[in-house]
Structure 1
C-alpha cells in the first residue's frame, strides 16, 4: 500500500534515511551520536528542531528495517520496530513545535503512517486531518486524502472512501492516482454498482495516466497493475452477469500479454457462477482466439459440458469429439492436462448418470470414443460395461469388462505397495464377478463361459473360484453328461476350498448322477465318503448308503438285524403261545430299535402291552420302552403318561418326582406339583436350591417367587445371586438387584461380583451423565457461586462412587470410574479458570483473584492428573482384553451385562485399543444374536430329523443348538443327558 512507500520519506536536510549504503552499525552509531547531541541542546536552541527530525527519521527507518527482517524470518506475532516507532513519534511530536509551518504537513503524514503501523487508527486519522489543516499544497492534501481513503476502505466504509479517492483523482499531478482509481472501482463494486465498477476499470485501462499505482511511474504502464485491473474486470463482469460484447471489450482493453489469460478467467467465472449460455459464448470466443492447443482443448471440454447442460446434445457430442481429437494433437498427459482429462471423463460420467436407467446409443458411442484416447481408465471401462449391460448390449459390456480386467490386473501386478495391491486385487475380483453376473443376464452361453474363464484366469484372490467352477460343472450336468459331471461334482464336493453349502450340493448332485447311471457300487462308496465329510448331512448320506447296501445284499444273523427282522416277519403270532408271543414281541421291539425303526418298535410295544399275561416286570419293561420310544419321537406327553404308570423301582421317590417333573416340562405341562413334592420331601439342600431356581425360571412373577424361595439358598448364596441375575436380565428391576446385593455378606461368588459391577456401572452411567450435563451459569457472581457449589457436590459424589469401585477391585469399574473422575475434574478446572472476572477489580486485584482461584481448583487438577495416570496404567494391562474374551466365553449367560460393560470400555479406550474392544463387543453381540429364538418351522424340521435319526449324535446336537437358542433349559438339559448316554453306548460298542 501507499503508506509503506511513504515510510521511507525523510524529513532531514537532504539525507535519505532509507539509504541502503549505510550499514546497521553505522545507523545505530548515528542515532547514538544524534541522541547525545539532542540531549545537549537547550529546548529553545534553533538547531534542536532539525536534530529531532533527523532522529525521528532514523528511528522510523530502523523500525522499518527491523520489521522487514522479522517478516522475512516468518514471524507470527510481529513486534520488531515498535520501540523505534514510539521514539520516532515522540521526536516528531516535539519537532512539530519547532519547525516551520511548511514542514508540518509532512510530519503529520509521517506520524499518521507510524500510528497506523501501531494500530492506533484514531491518532492516525487525526494526523492526516491535521495535515489537511496545516497544508496548502494540493499534492500534500491529496496524499492525506489517499491515506484517509485507504483507512476507510479497510473499514469497509466504501462510500466515505470513494469520496476521498475522488478528491485524489481530482488533484492534477497527485501521486498514486492509478491506485485511487482502482480502489474507487472496488468501492463501486462493494456497494453493488456493478456497471460503474466495470466502467471505472475500463477507464484505467484506457487512460495512460492511471496505468500505474505510484506517482513515480506516472505515465508508464505497470504490467502487473494492469494484469490485476483486467483480471478484476473479468471478475466484475461475471459477478454482474455476462453480457454480449463483454468478452470482446475485455479482450480489446487487456494488454497483449494477458489477453488470453483474462478472457479465460472470464469464461471460467461465468461457469462457476452458473451463467451457462454466456459462458458457452465466452468459451467459444476463447477457442476462436486461442493458438495454444491445450487451451483450445480446455475450451472444447468446457463447451461440451455446457452444451450438455443446456441440452444441446448434438453440439455437446461434437465438442466432446473435437476435444478428444485435440488431445491426440497435443503432448498432453493425465498430469500435464489434468483438468481437461477430468472434464472429458466427467462429461461421460455425467451423461451416464443422467441416463442411468436407460443408456442411449449415443452414450455408448461416447464411451467408445473416450476409450480410443484413454485406454487405461479401468473405472470408465467398468461404468461403460454397466451402461452397456443396462442397455442389453451384453457383447459390448463383456468386451469393456474384459479390458477393465486386463488394466486392473496389470496395475495389480506392477503395484509394490501391499495395501494398494490388495485394493487392486479386490477391485479386480469385484469386476470379474460383475462380468459373470452380466453374462448370466445375457442368457448367452458363450459370453458366460468366456466370463467364467476370465475369472479363473485373472482372479488374484480366487475367492469365488470354487463357485464359478461349480457353475460350469452344473451346466455339464444339465446338458445330460452324467458320467463327466459326476466325477467333477465329486471333486468339488471334496475340495476343501469350497463353501460348505455348495460342497453338499455337489455331493448330492454327484449321487443323483450315479443314480441315473444306476451305479450302486459307487453310490455306496461315495455316500460313505460324504457321510464322513459332512456331519450335518450325515444322516442323509448314510440313508443313501444304506439304501445302496440294501439293494446289493441283505444282512443275516445277529450281525445283520435287517435280515433277522425279515426272518422274524414270518412269525405268526396267532398260532403261538402267550409266552412265545411275548418273546417274539420283545425281540421285535429290540431288533427294530437296533435298526432305528422306532415306529415299528412302538407298534410292537403297544402289541406287547395288550398281552393279558404280562408279568409286572414285563409290563415295567414295556412301559419303559414306551417311554423311551416316545422320547425318541419327542412325544413327551405320551412319555409322561406312560411314566406315571411306572414304578421306577431303581429310583427313589424324590428322583421319580424329578423325572416326572422333567417330562411335564418337556410336554409343556405345569411341573410345579412334582417340584413342590420334591422340595417337601427332599433333604438335599443343593438340589433343592436348583429346583427352586427352576421354579423361579418358570414363574410369571420371578421377583416375588425368588424372594419367597430365599430360604432354599441359605447354603448356596452364589446360586441365589445367579438366579437373581437371570431375573434381572428379564425384568431390568434395578431396585430388586440392589436388594439382592445386600444379601452378599462375605460372599465373593462371581455372580455377586457381577451384581456389584452392574450396580456400580449403572450408578456411574447415571452420575457421569448428570455431571457432564451440568454447566455453570455465568450471569452473575451469585449464579457462578451456586453453580460451582453444585458441581463440587457432584464431584464429591463421583469421588465416593470411584472409591466404591476401587474398593470392589473390579478392573472395569475402577477404570471407568477413574476415567470419568479425570475428565470431569479437568473440565471443572478449565471451566473455573475461564470464568468471567468479577467487575470492578484493579489489575492487581485481578491477579490476586486468579491466584486464589487457581489454588482452589488445583486439587481438581491434581485429582484429574492422578486419575488419568491411573487410567493409563489400567489400559497398560494388555491382558485385560484376553481376560474379557475368556470371561465372555465362559459366562455367556451374562452376555447382556458383559456386552454393556465392554461397550462402555470401548467408548473410552485409547485409539490403539479402541478397535479391539469394539470388535469384542461386536463378537459378544453377534454371539448373543446367534442365540435368538429359532422359528417354529426350523425347530420342527430339526425335531423331525431327530425323530427319524434318534441315535445320531449330529441330529441330537442340531436340535440341542436350536433349543439353546429357544432358551428351553429343561429340553437342553434333557438333550445333553441323552447325548451323554449315546456317547456311553457308542463307547461300550467300541470296546466289544
Structure 2
C-alpha cells in the first residue's frame, strides 16, 4: 500500500496553500504570526458578539491558528517529535472557534469554514468528524453555493480519508469526481491515489495504466506551492518505484522493462532500474531481475561501486535462479576484481567492501534458516578478500559450524588466532572457538590438534588448564588409558585449575587406573586425593577401599595366589582406615578381611572381622545367624567350646529345629565344662529320639548330683542300648560305690550278660575270698597231742574243701581273676597242708615198724593234696601264659578312663600280687606299671589341635588322651572330626 504519511503531509501543505488564497493574505513569519494572533485575541476580548466585526475577526483568528498549527506540525515532522512545537494546542483552539461559529452564526457561504474544520479534524486524528464535514460540504454545495474548488478538494480529501480506512472503491469514486474539475490542484497526487485504489482492489492492469499515463504526462507531476505549481522530482521517483512494484506483481516482460527505462527520469534512471531489479527479485521474478540488472549494467555512467553492487546483486539473482555455481563464481570474480583494483579514495574502498559485505550478509539473511555451501563459499571468498574483518570471519566460521564443516571453521579461526593484527582477546576467542569446533566435530584427531594448537598459542592459564583436561579426556576416549591416567593425575595437583575440574580429573584418573586394573596405583592416588580434596575425603577414601577390596577379592579367588600374597593383602586391609566408610563399605571390608584371615590362619583377625559384621545394624538378621554359625564352627574347630556355645546360643535361625538346636547347645556346653542339663532336657522335651537322645540321657545321669536316682529314671530308655546302659551303670558305681542302690539296675535282664552285672557279682566273690584266704592261710596243725593233731588236720581239710568250693564257684562266674585267686589258694594251701602233715611229730610209744607204718599212712593221705596243688599250679601257669581274658583285662585297664581304672585297680592289684610268670602276667604288670598322663599333657594336646585343627596326627593323639583322661564326649567328637577330614569336609 502507498505511503499514507506522504498523503497526510501533502494534504497539510495543500490545505495551507488553499487557506492562504482563500484568506487573501500573505505568508507571515512565525514572529509576526504570533504577534497578530495575540492582538486579535485582545481585540476579541474587548468586543461583544453583537459587534458586526466579531464574526469576521473570529474567523480570521481561527484561520491564523490553523495556519500556525500546520507550520508547527511541519516543524514537528522535521524534529521527529509529536506535539513538541505546540501544533496540537493551536489546532484544538481553531477547531473550537470554527465549531462555535457554525453553531451560533448563520452563514450562506460557510464552505471555507467547513473545509478548514474538516482538515483540522483530520490532522487531529478525528477522521470520522472530518469525513462528516467533507460529506456535509459535498451535500450542501449547491444549496449553500460553496466554491467549486472547495467541493473538488472535499471530494479529494474525502477520498484520502476513505483510502485510509481501506474503503478503496468509495475513495476511487470521490477521486474520479474530483478529477472532473479541470482546475483541481495536485491532480497528479489524486491520480496517483486512484491508481493505488485499483491496485488494492486487484485491478492491476488499470492501476498500471493510470501510473503509466501519469508518467507520460510529466507536466502533471507537480505540487502546488505558494510560488505556484512546480515539478516534483521526488514524487516522480516515488511513482516510478510504485510502478516497479505494480509491474513486479505480474510477469514482467521485455516491453515493460523498456517502458520502465523510458519513463524513468534520467537523473534517477540508474537508481530506479536497480530498485526495479530488487522488486522483481523480491517478488520472485528472478529471470526479469536478471534482465533488468543487465539493462542496469548497460548504463553508461555507472561507477565502480555501482557496477560492483550490480554484480553482487546479479550473483544473488543467479543464485536464486538456481545457478548457484555461477553466482559464487560471479562473487569470486568481483572479489578478485576488488583486490586488483587500486583505490585512491579510501572511503570508496570502504564502500566497495561494504557492498560485498552486504551481498554476503544479504545472502546470509536469505539463507539464515537453511545455510548451504554457496553461502559458506561466499564467506570464504569474502574472508580471503578482507582478512581483517573479524566480524565476517566469525560469521563465516559460524556458518561452517552450523553446516558441520568443522575443518573449515577451524581454518578460519586459526587464521585469526595466529595473526598479530588482532587483539589478544580476539585471538583468545578464536582459539576457544577452534576448540569448540573441534569438539563438536567428534573427530578425535581434529580435537587433539585443536587442543595442542591452543596450548601453543594461548596465554590463558585457567583456560589452558581446561584444555589440558580435555586433551587428557581425549586420550581417555581413545583408550590411551595409561597416558590419560598420568595426565589427569598431573592436573589434580595444578592449583591454577578450578577445583571442580581438578576433582573431575581426579575421578577420571582413578577410572583410568581401574580400567587398567592397576589397583595399587588407584589406591595410592585415591588416598592422595583424599588429602588434596578435603571436601571429598570420604568419597576418595571409599574408592581407595573399594579398589583394595577388588584387589583382595582377586587375590582371594585366584587359585594361584600364594599364602604370602594373601598375607600381604590382609596386611593392607588391616592397615586401611575405615573411619569415614559407609556401612555398606564396612560390610564388604570386614567380609573380605574375614575371608583372607581364614585362608591365612589369622584367627584373631578372622574373629574380630566376623564379630564386627555381627555388630553392624546394616547386616540382616539372617546373615548374622549365618555369621554366628560360622564363628561358632570356628571356635569349635579350635576347641574353644565356650565361645562356640556363646555364638551358637545367639543363632535364631528357623532352618534348625528346636530339638537339634538344643542338642548342639547342650553338647557344646558339655564340652565347655558348662552345665548342659537344661539343653539336654529341652532337646528331649522337643522330641529328640534315637542314639543322640540316649547319649544325652547317659550324660544327664553322669552329670546329676544324684546319679543313682537319675540312672534309675533313665534306665527304661537307656536299656534300648544295653552297652550304653552297662557303661553308664559302671561309671555311676565307680562314682558312688552304692551297691545296694544300683542293685535293681544290675539285675535288669538287659545287663545280665554285661560286664556291669558280672563286675557287680564278682565283687562279692572277691570279698568272700578276701575273708577266707587269711583264715585258711593262718591255720596251723596242732601237734600237742594226738587229739589236737587229729582235730587240727580235720579243720585244715575242711578249709581246703572250702577252697575247692570257691574254685568251683569261680569257674561258674567265668571270671579269670576269680579263677586265678582260687587256684592260687588251692595250690598254696594244699601244698602247705602236705608240708605241715610231713612235719608233724611222731606219736609217742610207737615202734619203729609202727613209725614206718605211720609215715606211709601220712604220705598216702597227703598225696591227693599234693596232686591237687600241682594241678592248680599247672593251671595257673597255663593261664598266665596265654589266657585271652587276662590280655583283654590288661588292655581294658590300660585304656580305661580314670574312673573305670579305679574300679579295675583292685582286680589288677590282686592279679599283680598272685605268684606266677608268663606273657599274661607280664601284660598285667605292664598295664599296672604303664606311665599315666598328666593334665598338662592333655592341655598341650588340645593346644596342638587348636593351632592345627586339620592335623590328623594331633587329632588322634588328643583322642587318645581324651579317652584316657579327658571329657567323656571328646573321643566321639574327635572321631567325628577325623571322619569329616577323611571325607574331605571341614567342620
Return the TM-score normalized by structure 2. Answer: 0.48
Q: What TM-score do the two structures reach when normalised by structure 1? A: 0.47
